[in-house]
A and B are shown apart, each in its own frame.
Chain A
Amino acid sequence: MANPTRIASTSPVLEGQPAPSANREMPGAVKWADDRIGLAKIGRAGLRKVFPDHWSFLLGEIALYSFIVLLLTGVFLTIWFKPSMAEIEYDGSYQLLKGMPVSEAFASTLNISFDVRGGLLVRQIHHWAALLFVAAATVHMLRVFFTGAFRKPREVNWLIGVGLLSLSLIAGFAGYSLPDDLLSGTGLRFVDGLIRSIPIIGTWAEFFVFGGEYPGDILIPRLYMVHILLVPGILLGLISAHLALVVYHKHTQYPGPGRTENNVVGYPLFPVYAAKAGGFFFIVFGFLVLMGGLFQINPVWIYGPYDPAKVTAGSQPDWYMGWVEGAIRIIPALETHILGTTWTWSVFLPGVGLMGVLFTGLGLWPFIEQWITGDKREHHLLDRPRNAPTRTALGVAGMTSYAMFWLAGGNDIIATRFALDLNAITVFMRVAVFVAPVIAFIITKRLMLSLQRADRERALHGSEDGVIVRSPDGGYSEGHLPLSHEEQFLLTQHLQHRVLEPGAETDASGVRRKKGGVSKLRARLSRWYLGHDIAKPSAAELAAAAHHGSHSAHAVEDGHGAAGVDGAGINGIEGPRHGVDAGHGPERAGLHH
């Protein structure tokens, strides 16, 4: 056991707090609790903990609150749902299916929808919340990726996030399958084929999962266990760890004046952040209730009970499985035969393989990036996406590939809605999933580098003053106003990594190096990753630029500063011109090529 006194005397969390203002007695109940569980120690460390404010930090909160809504509504649904595939005659109040042989799972879903007051509302909230949960988690992950929030020391939390996202897909799919309607049964048939396609163990895995031949009568009880116990249990544990690490690391913050790697600027947990976060929970909950009340989702009574011989045109999975669905649609037929066995690549590769590639790639990324950049520092200030151009471009390329797969998952809908040739769309998509990301990468990287250039220009020369002046000899030019100190800091505060150079074979004293030097491959990757960055202006360059424009700057401060717009205008005329037509110094000319 750790020694509590020592923790108190060295813990920065405690030291960071101002001393309590008065000797205030604890109220009785709190004292009772403190006597037993040491509430005050936790409160002292956490009650005024600072959280930075930014809209993009709400994305993860939406996922968290959707999850809470899922737990609450899910418990309500279990009160009536019967996870059984036993066949009964439907005898509820939905007249169109009366007397039909249906499974108990399907009948109880109809019972919840038509005979339990508020049941339909809760079922629809549950489904909408599931869609929102995966969507919010996905967008949250993109935010974390593009701002570099996964960097040291948060790699472990990134891995937990990857686990959460993959599990949420399983949770969603298992839940989608429970009502045993025609659409969910078609989804299960697909899962059956997917499992069967796994090389070597496929048939055995299929018989084990389904308890024999498809569809069997045990799958829905098993999926129910997965959906309400196994996966939510793991999700709950991982979410707790995810949040605990956020508290331990303290939240990242966007760069800005006064924000450093060593501090966190924002509002205290109690009362401001607690009020905002708590209020936001009610807003997310409220919107989900409105959606459950107003927007129909998964009307299983229209699809009807599952029948293994039926399927409807336009069958689609929930949105988050769309990319896998797309991959399975566009893969060309591919089966190999080795020694009397069959390897069904055209199901295994796009299904199991693609999901494996995405989640493995996501999980490895922080470590790959660290290896390429050689970056060992802790990072608590977020990157502006432009300042990590290759990462941003890779992210957009990944999103593009995902989007192409996802679109391919609706190739039949696209064909019928836009009167296009289904096969042509499919062939196009086969190419697009590989080519579109490359195009997206190139465009994004160019855009990010241009933004870097624009930042550099702005930091060096200030903002354009909006007054175009024609000189006596006919040239046009526009003057510049100096930036505020804050903005100039924001534009130049980021750390730029040096490209790694391949290590010498021997070290300084001529001794042959053991492992640990920079390999040629790593150096090449590093050049590809970092080599195109536009150097931000150095202090000397800024000083030179300021001197260059000092007349202008002085004029603002000393002369006509108080005159506002007019003063600026005058000053723009008087100030040095940054000619549109004229060449402008070596560093600038160089930058444009």
Chain B
Amino acid sequence: MSHDNLPVKDPDLGHSVPDPGLEPHVERYTDVDKGAGNRAYAAILMMLAAVPVLAIAFVVIYFAVPRDAYIDFGLLKANAQNVGFGLTGGLAAVLIGVAVIQWARVLMSDEESVELRHAASSTDDDRAAVMGLWDDGVEQSSVRRRKLLLGALGGAVGISLVPAVVLLADMGPHPTARLREETLERTIWAEGILLLNDENWLPIRPEMLEVGQLVNAQPANLRDLHGVEAHQAKAKAAIIVVRMDPNSIKVPESRKDWHVSGILAYSKICTHVGCPISLWERQTHHLLCPCHQSTFDLGNSGVVVFGPAARALPQLPITVNADGYLVAQSDFTVPVGPSYFERDSSQDFKDGDQ
């Protein structure tokens, strides 16, 4: 049982007490007591015998229990079939497992065996042999004499990676300055577009909003879009419309025409990672993002008052049209959503700007 490729040469290094060797084997109750052994045997057989019963029950539930049958029993309120499948299937599998492990624990011999390890490394012989073989191969390949071969091969394979990578260039449109202008930097808001309440899709009149009220809104032209375009447009165009007491809010000089008697519209898309912001505190005029808790002050041009967002919420300039409905004056003046690398956002609105 010994060999010369053991992991360590000095397994006793640092021992201050000599290794006493393996503990003596202690027989189990089921080894010594015939009755106990037989009882364990019977228990295992019973567990295995329950499995076919559960399997049949599973199949019966599949065909006999209606799909919409529902259990409402104390804490358990669930689809009857699902619960039935879970109980029968789960118990069957657990019983197989417990039976087999019990077999291993109490009936199989529990004498421990000892096996010698080997060092992870190869023997010195093998190492020398491999290096020899390698050298033979290198010699045979003639790269020693014709030295340019390896470099040329490396260069050829290396450069051929370029076409492979270029193949991926069509994964998406390229966000060049022009494309960014058409996508990230604009929304479907434009002059005269009606603000629609996104619950009932009706246009909003100023007198419908009380002070302190918040309404989620969408541009009316969103309804002309479908599928992907609609999703992409909605992901940027969603706004919140709030009415605050004009005397309790700060409106900078540059934005004094952007609101309609205390009704202001802001982008609903957080400038941190882009979650739709939704939690409104009437008293403080704060708007809290439920994803990462950036907090914006809608009474102060949407500047950040807390949290990880670094830019103020873009404000949508609104006015009232001839029919008395709220409409946009234009698109947002800055891109909505998270900042991106190519655009310097340092000129965006900050607290204290006029």
Given A282-B100, A286-B97, do A378 and B341 touch, yes or no (CB 8 Å)?
no
The answer to whether B235 has its CB under 8 Å from any CB of chain A is: yes
Q: CB-CB < 8 A to A577: which residues of B?
A: none
Q: Contact: B93 with A203, CB < 8 Å?
A: no
Chain A residues positioned under 8 Å from B231 (CB to CB) = 215, 217, 308
The answer to whether the Cβ of B283 comes within 8 Å of any Cβ in the partner chain is no
- Kindly list chain A residues whose C-beta atoms are within 8 Å of the C-beta of B13: 495
Inter-chain contact A293/B308, CB cutoff 8 Å: no
User: Is B6 an interface position by the 8 A CB rule?
Assistant: yes
A267 touches B110 (CB 8 A): yes
Chain A residues closer than 8 Å to B143, beta-carbon distance:
none
In the complex, per-residue mask of B127-141: 1 if CB is within 8 Å of any chain A CB, else 0: 000000000000000
A492:B5 contact, CB within 8 angstroms: no
Question: Would you call A542 and B17 a contact (CB within 8 A)?
Answer: yes
Residues of A within 8 A of B22 (CB): 257-258, 265
**A308→B82 contact, CB < 8 A:** no
A57-94 CB mask vs B (1 if < 8 Å, else 0) is: 00000000000000000000000000001110000010
Given the known inter-chain contacts A258-B22, A378-B119, please indicate yes or no for A341 contacting B342, CB distance below 8 A: yes
Interface assignment of B155: CB less than 8 Å from any CB of chain A: no
B96 within 8 A of A: yes
| Closest partner residue, chain B, to A283 (CB atom) | B97
CA distance A292 to B87 in the complex (A): 9
Kindly state whether residue A261 has any CB partner on chain B within 8 Å: yes
B19 touches A260 (CB 8 A): yes
The residue in chain A whose Cβ has the minimal distance to the Cβ of B68 is A93
Interface residue ranges of A477-496 to B (CB < 8 Å): 485-486, 488-489, 492-496
Question: Are B304 and A263 within 8 A (Cβ)?
Answer: no
Hey, which chain B residues are within 8 Å of A278, CB to CB? 100
If over half of B's interface residues share one DSSP class (helix, strand or loop), that class is named, otherwise mixed; here it is loop
Q: Is B151 an interface residue (CB 8 A)?
A: no
Q: Quick check: is B3 within 8 A (CB to CB) of the other chain?
A: yes
Total contacting residues, chain A, CB less than 8 A: 136
In the complex, which residues of chain B have a beta carbon less than 8 angstroms from the beta carbon of A120?
Answer: 79, 82
Does A468 make an interface contact (CB < 8 A)?
Answer: no
Q: How far is the CB of B100 from chain A (nearest CB, A)?
A: 3
Query: Which residues of B sit under 8 angstroms from A266, Cβ to Cβ?
Result: 112-113
Question: Could you tell me if A347 and B307 are in contact, using CB atoms closer than 8 angstroms?
Answer: no
Q: A271-B108, A293-B83, A536-B16 are in contact. Are A258 and B120 (CB under 8 A)?
A: no
Q: Contacts of A264 on B, CB cut-off 8 Å? A: 114-117
The smallest beta-carbon distance between B93 and chain A, in angstroms, is: 3
Interface residues of A in 240-277 (CB under 8 A from B): 248-250, 257-258, 260-268, 271-272, 275-276
> A50 in the interface, Cβ–Cβ < 8 Å?
yes
Q: Residue A571 at the B interface, CB < 8 A?
A: no
| Chain B: minimal CB distance from A321 (Å) | 13
Q: Given the complex, which residues of B lie within 8 Å of A268, measured CB to CB?
A: 113
Q: Is the CB of B115 within 8 A of A50?
A: yes
Could you mark each residue 25-59 of chain B with 1 if its beta carbon is under 8 Å from any beta carbon of chain A, else 0?
Answer: 00000000000000000000000000000000000
Q: Which residues of B contact A204 (CB under 8 A)?
A: 174-175
CB of B7 closer than 8 Å to a CB of A: yes
**Residue B274 lies at the interface, judged by CB distance under 8 Å to chain A:** yes
Tell whether A378 pairs with B120 under 8 Å between CB atoms, given A282-B93, A341-B341, A344-B338. yes
CB-based contact A16/B308 at 8 Å: no
A147 → B minimal CB distance (Å): 17
What distance in Å separates the Cβ of A425 from its nearest Cβ neighbour in chain B? 9
Chain A positions within 8 Å of B76 at CB level: 294
Rounded to whole angstroms, the CA-CA distance of A492 and B20 in the bound complex is: 12
Q: Which of A322-338 contact B (CB under 8 A)?
A: 325, 328-335, 337
What's the minimum C-beta distance from B36 to chain A, rounded to whole angstroms?
Answer: 19
Q: Is the CB–CB distance between A217 and B273 below 8 Å?
A: no
Residue numbers in B under 8 Å from A296 (CB-CB): 78
**Could you say which of A205-213, A227-235, A389-397, A519-527 contacts chain B?**
A205-213
Q: Contacts of A434 on B, CB cut-off 8 Å?
A: none
Closest residue on chain A to residue B100 by CB atoms: A279
Binds B, one of A185-193, A444-452, A510-518, A560-568: A185-193
Cβ < 8 Å to B, chain A residues 70-127: 85-87, 93, 114-115, 117-118, 120-121, 124
Question: Given known contacts A207-B175, A313-B278, A337-B344, is B307 in contact with A197 (CB within 8 Å)?
Answer: no
A289 within 8 A of B: yes
Bound complex: CA A86 to CA B104 (Å): 53
**B226: CB under 8 A from chain A?**
yes
What distance in Å separates the Cβ of B166 from its nearest Cβ neighbour in chain A?
13
- Which of these, B17, B198, B310, contacts A492 with CB under 8 Å? B17
**Is the CB of A360 closer than 8 A to any CB of chain B?**
no
Looking at chain B, what size class is its interface with the partner chain?
35 or more
Cα–Cα, bound, A579→B168 (Å):
78
B343 CB within 8 Å of chain A: yes
On whether A267 and B112 interact (CB within 8 A), knowing A279-B100, A347-B338, the answer reads yes
A427 to chain B: closest residue by CB = B306
Contact A279 B275 (CB under 8 A): no
Contact, CB under 8 Å: A488 / B101? no
Contact of A202 among B97, B183, B272, B341 (CB under 8 A): B341
- Check if A211 sits within 8 Å of B7, measured CB to CB: no
CB pair A289 B90 closer than 8 Å? yes
A66 to chain B, nearest CB (A): 13
Contact B101 A275 (CB under 8 A): yes
| Interface 1/0 per residue, A2-26 and B, CB below 8 Å | 0000000011110110000000000
Residues of A near B98 (CB, < 8 A) are 279, 283
Q: Complex formed: what's the CA distance from A552 to B295 in Å?
A: 73
Is the CB of B123 closer than 8 A to any CB of chain A? yes
B11 within 8 A of A: yes
Given A207-B175, A265-B112, A12:B3 Cβ within 8 A? yes
Instruction: Give CA–CA (A286, B95) in the complex, Å.
Output: 8
- A328 and B109 CA atoms in complex are apart in Å by 55
Binds A, one of B207-215, B285-293, B317-325: B285-293
Contact with A along B58-95 (1 / 0, CB 8 A): 00001000011000000010110111111101111111
The reply to whether B8 and A290 contact each other, CB–CB distance below 8 Å, is no
Contacts of A197 on B, CB cut-off 8 Å? 273, 338
Is B352 interfacial (CB 8 A cutoff)? Answer: no
Partner of B15, one of A117, A271, A493: A493
Residue B248, interface by CB 8 Å: no
Q: Which of A208, A280, A541 has the most CB of B within 10 A?
A: A208
Q: Which residues of B contact A249 (CB under 8 A)?
A: 120
Residue of B nearest to A423 (CB): B306
Q: Does A422 count as interface, using CB distance less than 8 angstroms?
A: yes
Residues of A within 8 A of B227 (CB): 86-87, 217
**In the complex, A310→B269 CA distance in Å?**
10
Residue contacts A-B, CB under 8 angstroms, 11 given: A121-B82, A203-B175, A211-B171, A213-B184, A275-B101, A283-B101, A313-B279, A426-B293, A494-B14, A496-B14, A539-B16
Beyond the given A279-B99, A294-B87, A346-B308, please list 19 additional residue pairs across the A-B interface where CB-CB is below 8 A.
A13-B118, A202-B340, A203-B342, A211-B172, A215-B235, A257-B22, A258-B20, A258-B22, A263-B116, A267-B113, A279-B97, A309-B218, A329-B308, A342-B343, A344-B310, A344-B340, A423-B295, A489-B17, A494-B14
Residues of A within 8 A of B (CB): 10-13, 15-16, 48-50, 85-87, 93, 114-115, 117-118, 120-121, 124, 152-153, 186, 189-190, 192-194, 196-204, 206-217, 248-250, 257-258, 260-268, 271-272, 275-276, 278-294, 296, 307-315, 325, 328-335, 337, 340-344, 346-347, 350, 377-378, 380, 411-412, 422-423, 426, 459, 485-486, 488-489, 492-496, 536-539, 541-542
> Would you list the 8 A-B pairs with minimal beta carbon distance, nearest first?
A293-B86, A193-B273, A282-B97, A286-B93, A286-B94, A258-B22, A290-B90, A279-B100
